[in-house]
Amino acid sequence: MVEIAEAVRGERDWRDVSAIAKMHDGKIVETRADASDFFWDLDELPMPRWDLLSLKRYWNIARPHGGHFKPGAELRYAPLMTTRGCLFTCSYCHIAGETEESVFGAIGRFRLKSDERALRELAVLKGLGVEQVYIEDDMFLGRKERALRLLRKIQEAGMSISDVNGVNVVHMFRKDALRRYEPDIDIIGALKEAGFHEIVMAFESAAPRVLRKYATNKWDPERMPIDRLIRACKEYGLSIGGNYMLGYPDETRREMQQTIDLARCHKEAGIDWVNFFSVMPLPGTPLFNESVRDGYFSPNFNPDYMDWTKAVFKNTIVPPEEVAVLRKQAWEEWNSKEFRENKVAMAVLA
């Protein structure tokens, strides 16, 4: 950011600014990331200057992108990131594209801030009047002991947590003496005590082939008893949502139906709502490059028109129009009228 500002002021050549894209002579030109800019130790990053932001204005006009609140509710929230990156590399995710060889550098690597650093940031936010923090980590539960410790300390600091961005299904389980998966009651109890009302879990697909190919095998539909996990969360008074994706480039009708059926089973086990998303090949992800290479997607497509409700691939086994209908039908069929109306109201008010 500082380099960009210097380049805009004419104090530095823009070609020396690390990892930017710029229109030059009618063409988009990218500069590469400078490896020396990479912070392995996140504690070395300067503290964010939140005091320079108009937080009150954000509270009035915007909303965190998750959490439990009513439309129109007064919030005094701010994001907090205690880790960066992720241990998985799902092909539709920006993380998977953020490798050493990429223009961004290896910023997708999983890195953690120390407890002291995370709590220092929290104290600054509290001093600015923030009451709810939204943990933006993509993999907050990646180190469970640390996550449990931090949840406790955030509570002790008198702040409430409105939500965590990334909850991986695998982290909601532990293995018993026979190496079988069982719901991790310590994690569920700690989330509840920290003030959570709801947890949203990313299942993405029910088809093992799809999970293997696109989602780094990040959960195991055959070995993880999701019905028991849902029941355990409900016993702790937590609402549970599930996220599912339809329309992977080579996904078959049968695999899509498997996912819709899985969401139905989750509903029957007590999950509160199920979100269905169209798969989006966002630029910068491996999925984007592979889809262009394999003829599923045009490189000239305007990404501004991508939307999680639209199916944008071409030459797929299931035509995009059918994927869009399947997604909409599943969302309408398996969610209550109240949930659907609330979602629409939140989108309008945000």
Compute φ and ψ for 66, nearest 5 degrees. Answer: -170, 180
For residue 93, give the nearest of 174, 166, 40, 144 by alpha carbon. Answer: 166
Q: Which stretch binds ligand SF4 (CB under 6 A): 62-70, 93-101, 180-188, 314-322?
A: 93-101
Give the residue carrying structure tokens 């078959």: 252
113 binds ligand SF4 (CB under 6 A): no
316 binds ligand SF4 (CB under 6 A): no
138 binds ligand SF4 (CB under 6 A): yes
Q: Report in angstroms how near the CB of residue 53 gets to ligand SF4 at its nearest.
A: 25
For residue 344, give the nearest of 334, 332, 333 by alpha carbon. Answer: 332
Amino acid identity at 273: W
Q: Pick the closer one to ligand SF4 by CB: 195 or 284.
A: 284
Q: Report in angstroms how near the CB of residue 139 gets to ligand SF4 at its nearest.
A: 6
Among 33, 78, 93, 262, binds ligand SF4 (CB under 6 A): 93
* SS3 (DSSP) at 38: coil
Q: Pick the closer one to ligand SF4 by CB: 130 or 278.
A: 278
Site string for ligand SF4, 148-177 (x = CB under 6 A): ------------------x-x---------
Q: Pick the closer one to ligand SF4 by CB: 90 or 224.
A: 90
* SS3 (DSSP) at 130: coil
The rounded distance, in Å, linking the Cα atoms of 41 and 34 is 16
For residue 188, give the nearest of 177, 197, 179, 175 by alpha carbon. Answer: 197
Q: Pick the closer one to ligand SF4 by CB: 96 or 154.
A: 96
Q: Report in angstroms how near the CB of residue 284 gets to ligand SF4 at its nearest.
A: 12
Site string for ligand SF4, 5-44 (x = CB under 6 A): ----------------------------------------
Q: Report in angstroms how near the CB of residue 3 gets to ligand SF4 at its nearest.
A: 27
**DSSP β-ladder status, 111-112 and 83-84:** antiparallel
205 touches 211 (CB < 8 A)? yes
Site string for ligand SF4, 73-92 (x = CB under 6 A): -------------x-xxx--
Compute CA distances 103 → 16, 72, 85, 95, 264, whole Å: 14, 41, 16, 13, 41
Q: Report in angstroms how near the CB of residue 165 gets to ligand SF4 at its nearest.
A: 8
The rounded distance, in Å, linking the Cα atoms of 312 and 324 is 9
For residue 244, give the nearest of 281, 301, 203 by alpha carbon. Answer: 203
Q: Pick the closer one to ligand SF4 by CB: 95 or 271.
A: 95
Q: Pick the closer one to ligand SF4 by CB: 233 or 279.
A: 279
Number of residues that bind ligand SF4 (CB under 6 A): 11
Q: Report in angstroms how near the CB of residue 205 gets to ligand SF4 at its nearest.
A: 12
Q: Report in angstroms how near the CB of residue 96 gets to ligand SF4 at its nearest.
A: 6
Q: Pick the closer one to ligand SF4 by CB: 153 or 209.
A: 209
For residue 170, give the nearest of 201, 196, 145, 195 by alpha carbon. Answer: 201
Residues 201-260 binding ligand SF4 (CB under 6 A) are 218
DSSP H helical ranges for the chain: 2-8, 55-61, 94-97, 115-127, 144-156, 185-193, 208-214, 226-235, 253-269, 286-293, 320-333, 337-349
Q: Pick the closer one to ligand SF4 by CB: 113 or 218.
A: 218
**DSSP β-ladder status, 77-80 and 132-135:** parallel
Q: Report in angstroms how near the CB of residue 76 gets to ligand SF4 at its nearest.
A: 27
Which positions touch ligand SF4 (CB under 6 A)?
Answer: 86, 88-90, 93, 95-96, 138, 166, 168, 218
